[in-house]
Amino acid sequence: MFLLNADPYSMKIIADANLKDIEIYFSQFGELQVLSGREINAQTITDADALLIRSVTSVDKALLENSKVKFVGTATSGTDHVDQAYLANNDIIFAHAHGSNAQAVADYCLSALIGFSRIISPKVKKGRVGIVGLGAVGSALARLLKSIGIDVLAYDPLLTEEQRRIAIAVGVEFTAVIEDVFDQEAVSIHTPLSFDGKYPTSNMIDLALLARLPNAAVLINASRGEVIEENELLAFLESRPDVFSILDVWINEPDINLDLMALATIATPHIAGYSRRAKTLATKMLAESFNEFMWAGDGHFPSHDQFAPVKLALKNNVLASVESVVSAALPIEDWSVEFKRQITGTANRGGAFDKFRKSMINRSEFSDFEIAVSRLNSQELTNLKNLGFKLS
């Protein structure tokens, strides 16, 4: 155990105000101050011992060199906004919440795929969904797809043999050629953002890959905007209006490319991983790491998943299909319409991006919903159970 000083209760913790249940998990450790994520800067953290952030805050030498921070925790799965080499070289402990939002993102992507299956259903169900990146999120999506009878073709050259074995056991097929994935009727991208190594992902998806997508294909990016070459994506969507594009991540968030947003079939402000369950779990994971490395006592960590079931509100009070249930649970088309309206209706577009994102923090996941059985056959009921819905 690493103790920062003789009196752990004297520690000052600065946290992003949008971290869910931050007071519940961290007020026990010392003085807790919350700031807007975009207000966290070198001037506001000079006297902090610990820093808790989201992806909107870049952590590097410029932020930390004049502070006494010895613990940095990010409530995200991705870590490309953190200079981990600088932290390691300066004996600053780093923690993240890898996998905390995997199910939330998988639910979002499944909702997109099922939503547009009204148009491409025969193709998807006879073909395969391609997944680029089979980490925590990609694996969660693959499990959902396989549970309702949709085949998966995955590309991920960085998987260990054990990870591949687990995926193959649930029926995932693999290819060593990324072009094969883009030949499928639907492609969902779930890679981390990296700039070096044998398989860097920055701008890894270019026009040549995009052009392989079949007619009326679905393209989902819920990883990082930078993994697709933006200008080439823009040109592609302009020339291929048949493609259904679901974009949840963007370059230069929150100041996103409005031309690209307008072309996207579905545009949302980096909310695929936003759910009350995911956000609470992320905060809990950081608290557990903080307790292990920085605190003298035994922290108290309430459960992150004790939520009352949510009664699903349905249009006309009718359950006609799996598609209608999923659409009612996660109405991403409605979110997209409202987001586009809000961000184009104001000069403060970055503020509109952040405001809409914040409004989604209490979103439910499939497993939070309870539905009354109505007009569904046995296969549809099985599919809903496999997706996580509770039936009554």
Give the three-state DSSP class for 265: coil
> Residue range 254-272: average pLDDT?
97
CB atoms under 10 Å from CB of 335, counted, come to: 21
Residues 252, 359 within the same domain: no
The 8-class DSSP code of residue 197 comes to S
Q: Does 330 reside within a domain?
A: yes
> Residue range 17-28: average pLDDT?
93
CATH, residue 158: 3.40.50.720
Q: What is the tens place of the pLDDT at every residue in 46-66?
A: 999 999 999 999 999 999 999
CA torsion 281→286→292→298, rounded to 10°?
-60
Residues 263, 126 within the same domain: yes
Residues 156, 232 within the same domain: yes
Q: Does 304 reside within a domain?
A: no
Residues 125, 201 within the same domain: yes
Confidence of residue 2 (pLDDT cuts 50, 70, 90): very low
The residue segments making up the domain with residue 123 are 102-267
pLDDT at residue 9, rounded to an integer: 63
Closest CA to 352 of 263, 273, 256, 264: 256
pLDDT at residue 126, rounded to an integer: 59
* Residue from 31, 39, 230, 253 carrying the catalytic annotation: 253
pLDDT at residue 1, rounded to an integer: 42
Q: Does 21 reside within a domain?
A: yes
pLDDT at residue 23, rounded to an integer: 95
CB burial of residue 280 (10 Å; 0-12, 13-18, 19+): buried
Residues 77, 157 within the same domain: no
Residues 169, 286 within the same domain: no
Specify whether 253 is catalytic. yes
CB atoms under 10 Å from CB of 359, counted, come to: 16
- Report field, pTM of the whole predicted structure over 0.85: yes
Report the number of distinct structural domains present in the chain.
3
Residues 167, 228 within the same domain: yes
Q: Does 242 reside within a domain?
A: yes
pLDDT at residue 119, rounded to an integer: 44
Residues 90, 122 within the same domain: no
Residues 145, 251 within the same domain: yes
Q: What is the tens place of the pLDDT at every residue in 317-359?
A: 555 688 888 989 999 999 999 999 999 989 999 999 999 999 9
Of 117 and 291, the structure prediction assigns the larger pLDDT to 291
Specify whether 224 is catalytic. yes
pLDDT at residue 346, rounded to an integer: 93
pLDDT at residue 294, rounded to an integer: 83
**Contact, 19 vs 75, CB < 8 A?**
yes
pLDDT at residue 159, rounded to an integer: 95
pLDDT at residue 120, rounded to an integer: 44
Among the residue ranges 70-79, 102-111, 123-132, 162-171, the one predicted with the least confidence is: 123-132
Residues 66, 127 within the same domain: no
Omega of the bond leading into 302 within 30 degrees of 0 (cis): no
pLDDT at residue 115, rounded to an integer: 78
* Residue from 54, 224, 357, 363 carrying the catalytic annotation: 224
Of 377 and 45, the structure prediction assigns the larger pLDDT to 45
Q: What is the tens place of the pLDDT at every residue in 66-75?
A: 999 999 999 9
* Residue from 270, 276, 277, 304 carrying the catalytic annotation: 270
pLDDT at residue 125, rounded to an integer: 55
Confidence of residue 312 (pLDDT cuts 50, 70, 90): confident
